[in-house]
Amino acid sequence: MRRRVLFVCMGNICRSPTAEGVTRTLAERRGLAELFEFDSAGTHGYHIGNPPDQRARQAAAGRGYDLSALKARQVNLYDFVRFDHILAMDRDNLELLRQACPEPQRGKLRLFLEFAGSFEEVEVPDPYYGGPEGFEYVLDLVEDAATGLLRTLAKK
């Protein structure tokens, strides 16, 4: 049975598509792709239909991740039923998900960095208003959490 994982940030153009692309690629490289389905969405609809931020795509490409096929979308009610794991990039978006999520599905909601093993951060910072170093740091956090996520879910 495939495990469905949804990554969520605010606009779905920086952090959550990075998490989707990195986790998908790591799963493919480890021969685990058939075990998973990955997607990403935003709690807000600011960027629906847009590709990930150019800086996110460039930083990801520099590490061998291709985000070019991804398009921003907003979380919808069906996502709470469809996905087994809904992972927010920060507490604010986790709270927005909790407010929108039907009670029986709330156990699916977590912070993505709960799966990280090498960092003490709890939230993936939003790099949107900063420079390229912010996007690189997001990748550091995401690679670590994605590795932990795959290790955890592949055991189940």
* Residues marked as catalytic: 9, 15, 126
Instruction: Match 């939230």 to its residue by tokens.
Output: 123
**CB–CB of 9/2 below 8 Å?**
no
Give the whole-angstrom CA distance, residue 9 versus residue 111: 10
Provide the CA 75 distance to its chain's centre, in angstroms: 12
State whether residue 51 is helix, strand or coil: coil
